[in-house]
Structure 1
């Protein structure tokens, strides 16, 4: 517990005050003036309303010097939830000695002595009430909320997010403790697993671009009763780390095929699906949610190319971080049309299989190939319009080096089937 006085709060930076207000769930704190923000923090923590303190503050505003009695400021205790190394914000502390000011800075990383931290760690361990696993959502102040599989929401401190380099969509597990006074949610005591692996095994100091990439060799075992999806899985196989584009003219059924492919991919263990709807019709968004697929980003037709490219890049970065830590992410994008060949190739280039690591697979829709794809799935608008499925254009579809995914015999079987169906 860190004890703060009004003097400490008033001498803290505005960024530190905003961080405290965010931890205390103060609504609209960024719109408050410094004095109002200090008062609100004190009130929220039960430290305001002291007549002597209020009087001392009023005398200080008039330029008068507070007497010694009024300098005994009301103190507040701000709990730090669920961080084994602490997540409090540093505050500049002012002490009066012999009429002179002496300033000390709280440690920027830990904010307390090792002994205090050890005591707090033992307290957290004693309060542990069970373990939880769920998907992480980062908040604007750097902390996060973990939505457990049973629907429970658990607070994850900003220190844990930074230390473990967590990103939106990470699947995180660890022990929790019950809420303390004035806390709204249970807190994660420590991060034990990230995307199904031990936390200490997933940290990486190497940039994603510097990790060695290899050809995809692990087939995505897609199973579906939909004839077009089944044909895609057999005739144009996809692997972990593939970069694929579903192409075809207007009304060829690209969005429908991508959504049904996403449903099939959802049945494969160990994949983190990241659907991105960039410039779709409003009713198409409803189709995705009705199918149980929650898009990571959803932009309608009014979004411009810059907004769409930025949104896609943000989700690509999430996928890269998951892959760098040994996880497997699949980014499904509808659509890359309107971004230009250069932007489309840059997005597709992020897909890869990392040597001895994870993978980022990208499957996107576009009217024409962008270049650099490892798999092209071309749909035939005439077949789609007449409801003749599968609606693949076999002459324009294919996977580079399919033998790396299905072996020489599998590649020969695909070639034979294509010849018979052509």
Structure 2
């Protein structure tokens, strides 16, 4: 049984699996709690359980595999990773880990990682040859990202002509409110997914409305991570940090990554609300230290 496949299923499908496994009192449970019950029942039948997630290393030395499906929120179906495994494989926050897991013992609350089978989609032996992100050499873009993908969508064709972008480039969309910035991001994301399937695409939505998140998930063929406006600023920062760390780990393994952030204004406001005041205030009430990250 694969944990990642369970997280992609709808609640009715999970209820059917729980019923087949003989899980008691599964109706009315949250999705994460229901998956935890299913995993427990599968483990009692001596079945193998495989899981995949993005590692978040805590200050105490151990870590958990968080799920992109839940925007890296802590949950009961997270997978515990021991400090010895983190040291042995030189794991860091942002690593995508997959492997076999075991059920929790008497005094434990979480499933635990039993065997590491892949690190960032490579074998552990191949992962040892990576170069740390801080040791990589930054270069000007040398390979272009083609954005034209639909004859009816002229916006990406205009970008190809006037503002071409390449791999390794940073860009900023500056426009008045309600002028279609989000629609342009969707067009860029779909163009990259179609023209450059080798690129790992991440769309990061910070402080957006939930319905906009749903629309982006249905419109874009890529990983959509969000922190909606009803969540605290610290949560916005935690999600963004996980995304950037994941991107760094993938780049260390020689993979191309594109992050589309909406919006950097709200992201800076989240930092402004969390950091201690420095006494230097910029225009708009923004603290000078809020822009350092």
TM class by shorter-chain length?
Answer: 0.5 to 0.7
Contact 1:155 1:188 in 2 (8 A): no
Looking at structure 2, the residues matched to 156 and 339 of structure 1 have their Cα atoms a distance apart, in angstroms, of 29
**Secondary structure of the corresponding residue to residue 155 of structure 2:** helix
Structure 2 CA distance for partners of 1:173 and 1:253, relative to 1, 3 Å: same
- Residue 240 (structure 1) shift: 1.6
Contact 1:145 1:156 in 2 (8 A): no
**Secondary structure of the corresponding residue to residue 63 of structure 2:** coil
**Secondary structure of the corresponding residue to residue 229 of structure 1:** helix
Looking at structure 1, the residues matched to 173 and 254 of structure 2 have their Cα atoms a distance apart, in angstroms, of 27
Looking at structure 2, the residues matched to 166 and 220 of structure 1 have their Cα atoms a distance apart, in angstroms, of 29
Looking at structure 2, the residues matched to 154 and 306 of structure 1 have their Cα atoms a distance apart, in angstroms, of 20
* Unaligned residue ranges in structure 2 (runs of 5+): 1-42, 69-76, 273-293
Structure 2 CA distance for partners of 1:265 and 1:186, relative to 1, 3 Å: farther
> What is the TM-score of this pair, normalised by structure 2?
0.53
Contact 2:200 2:256 in 1 (8 A): yes
Looking at structure 1, the residues matched to 175 and 90 of structure 2 have their Cα atoms a distance apart, in angstroms, of 42
For 1:244, the equivalent position in structure 2 comes to 171
Show CA shifts across 1:201-222 (max 9, x none): 3336754233211112122233
For 1:325, the equivalent position in structure 2 comes to 253
For 1:271, the equivalent position in structure 2 comes to 199
Looking at structure 1, the residues matched to 78 and 257 of structure 2 have their Cα atoms a distance apart, in angstroms, of 23
Looking at structure 2, the residues matched to 309 and 190 of structure 1 have their Cα atoms a distance apart, in angstroms, of 28
Q: Which of 299, 316, 319 is the matching residue for 2:228? A: 299
- Residue 189 (structure 1) shift: 3.9
Looking at structure 1, the residues matched to 149 and 235 of structure 2 have their Cα atoms a distance apart, in angstroms, of 34
For 2:142, the equivalent position in structure 1 comes to 217
Q: How many residues align?
A: 206
Structure 2 CA distance for partners of 1:191 and 1:235, relative to 1, 3 Å: farther
* Unaligned residue ranges in structure 1 (runs of 5+): 1-78, 80-126, 148-152, 345-422
Looking at structure 1, the residues matched to 67 and 234 of structure 2 have their Cα atoms a distance apart, in angstroms, of 31
Structure 2 CA distance for partners of 1:167 and 1:326, relative to 1, 3 Å: farther
Q: Which of 136, 147, 150 is the matching residue for 2:53? A: 136
Structure 2 CA distance for partners of 1:198 and 1:137, relative to 1, 3 Å: closer
Looking at structure 2, the residues matched to 166 and 279 of structure 1 have their Cα atoms a distance apart, in angstroms, of 27
Looking at structure 2, the residues matched to 188 and 217 of structure 1 have their Cα atoms a distance apart, in angstroms, of 42
- Residue 288 (structure 1) shift: 0.8
- What aligned pairs does 1:99-178 form with structure 2 within 5 A after superposition? 136-138=53-55, 142-144=63-65, 157-158=81-82, 159-160=84-85, 163-165=89-91, 167-168=93-94, 170=96
Structure 2 CA distance for partners of 1:277 and 1:235, relative to 1, 3 Å: same
